[in-house]
Each structure stands twice: as C-alpha cells, then as structure tokens.
Amino acid sequence: MAQVSQVSQVSQVSSVVVTLTDAGYYQKAKRTIIDVRSRGEWKGDLVLITVGFDAPPNFLDFYRVIPFRVEHLDTSQLVEQYKKDPIRPTCDNREYGKLTQWDKFYVFDPYFKKWDRVVYLDAGLRCFQPIYHLANLPCENSLMAPDDAAAYDLEKRFGGIIETDRHPEIVSRLFQEYHPSILSERYFLNCIWVYDTALLQTITFQDLVDTMNTYPICRCNEMTVMNLLFTFKHKVWKPFPEHIADNRTRLFGWTERDRNYGPYTTWRDFCFLKYPSTINFDCE
C-alpha cells in the first residue's frame, strides 16, 4: 500500500478537528481533546459536538474548544422497523443498545462547511503524533478512512455488515439502488476519518438519515450507511495509507495487541489508536 509522502506542517486549506460525545462519554472526549492539543500539536480549530448536554465552559476555554450542541438523532422510525422485522445484532448488540452511534451523522452537518477539511476522531481515540499527519492527507473531493480489513484479508467484506439473507422487500430495494457486487467489496472503518467539505454539496446530513430509515438492515449502524453513500453510491472513499513518511510508524491501529500489525506492538509504533493497551488511559 502506498506510503504517506512527506507533508508540511503548514497547510493551504482550513481544517478543523472534531470529536463527538454525549454526557456518558464526555470523559473519553476530554482525553482525546487533551491529546489533540498536546501530542497532536494542533493549534487550529477544534470542535466538540455535544449531544444533549453542555460541556463545562472552563474545560472548553482552557483547551480552546468550540462547542456545537445537537440533540440525539431521531431513530424512532428505525426502531419501529426493527420491531416489525428484527435485525440480527452484532456481538456488542449495537443495533439495539448503541443507537447513539447514529449521532455521528452530525459530523456532516452544514455547520462544517465553514472549513475546507474535517478531521474526525472518536471520543476516547488516542493521538500520539501530530495531527497534520491526518490534516494534510490528499483528500480532495474524498473521504479518507482506514480499510476495515488488512491488505491480505480476502474474506472481510461489506456483506458482513449488512443483512441480506432476510427482509426480501428491503433487500430488493437495496439491489435496485446498489449492485449486489457491493457485498464482496472492501469498506472503511469509521472511528477516524478525514473529509473534504466540498462533499457536503452532494452528500448531505439528510441523505444519511434517509438512508438509515430506508435500509433498516445495517448491522454496524452508522458505519454501514456511511459506506453505502461514500464508498458505493458516490465512490469517494480512499483508504488511509498504512504508514507515515518515516516508514516506521503506522498511521492508525485498532489496538497494538492485534497480531496483524506484526512488529508494531506498542503505542509508540502508532500515530492514532482506537483501543491502546500498552499505555494507561489516563496517562498524559
């Protein structure tokens, strides 16, 4: 896979770093914000999307965070469809127990058109290297995010996160809009991504919500819908490169304990980690 070319710390586009949380995940969001301003060396705009609550202003002021409050996305229509035609849950029951994941659609709110580029990090995701490794990725007219399967993985494909062996009416509608071959295609992981806000001219917040309600067969909630639109309908997803310019540091990892990463076994081997296990979560 291609490597990241050497990038300047000075970009010609306006970028914003964004994370999102409800009250329950606020402490994790704080950890990510602290990382972004410290190890991430980010001096630019930083937005915290707060879902259904207001974050304490003293913390926001100290870390120069712009608050953007929203309310939980209305999933009532989706839940009613689940009652009528139950979906098989994934291992963590996110389809029924983690409906707040749909709130990530707010990262595509028209509010973000005031910047050229958005860098999104899940609340709790750890940042160990400068943010410019993400902010300066070549993502013109695209969304960049990690492939959810290793380069050599020939089995993990989109069909594993959408339920097509039941619900014949919904599946028929799906295959009228999307070719069945999408089931055997690669797709992205959405705990971290970068996108060009020019995409908001063609892929809107409302498009995401409408797709959620049109296809209540998405086994990874908002990640499946995002892939339907960005990867398959508009074909604007580009995978993250595996390494940064030094060829020794991985850009992103799920956890450093994953044997698929080979010699990369500690947090020092990564720029960004979703679930680090070799560093204390509260360590500065």
Q: What is the pLDDT of residues 252-277, one digit of tens each?
A: 999 998 877 888 889 999 999 999 98
- Please, are residues 252 and 273 in contact by the beta-carbon 8 Å criterion? yes
Query: What is the tens place of the pLDDT at every residue in 168-215?
Result: 999 999 999 999 999 999 999 999 999 999 999 999 999 999 999 999
Mean pLDDT of 121-131: 98
- Tell me whether strands 237-239 and 143-145 are parallel, antiparallel or unpaired: parallel
Q: What percent of the chain has pLDDT over 70?
A: 94
Query: Tokens in use for 228?
Result: 């339907």
Residue type at 201 in one-letter notation: Q
Residue type at 107 in one-letter notation: V
Its pTM stands at 0.93
What pLDDT, on the 0 to 100 scale, is given for residue 280?
64
Q: Taking 70 as the threshold, does the pLDDT of residue 124 lie above it? A: yes
The pLDDT-based confidence of 11 (bands split at 50, 70, 90) is low
What pLDDT, on the 0 to 100 scale, is given for residue 10?
44
List Cβ neighbours of 126 (8 Å cut-off, separation of 6 or more). Answer: 31, 32, 35, 267, 272, 273, 274, 276, 279
Query: What is the tens place of the pLDDT at every residue in 73-97?
Result: 999 999 999 999 999 988 899 999 8
Q: Taking 60 as the threshold, does the pLDDT of residue 7 lie above it? A: no
Mean pLDDT of 95-105: 95
Mean pLDDT of 48-58: 98
Domains along the chain? 15-273 (3.90.550)
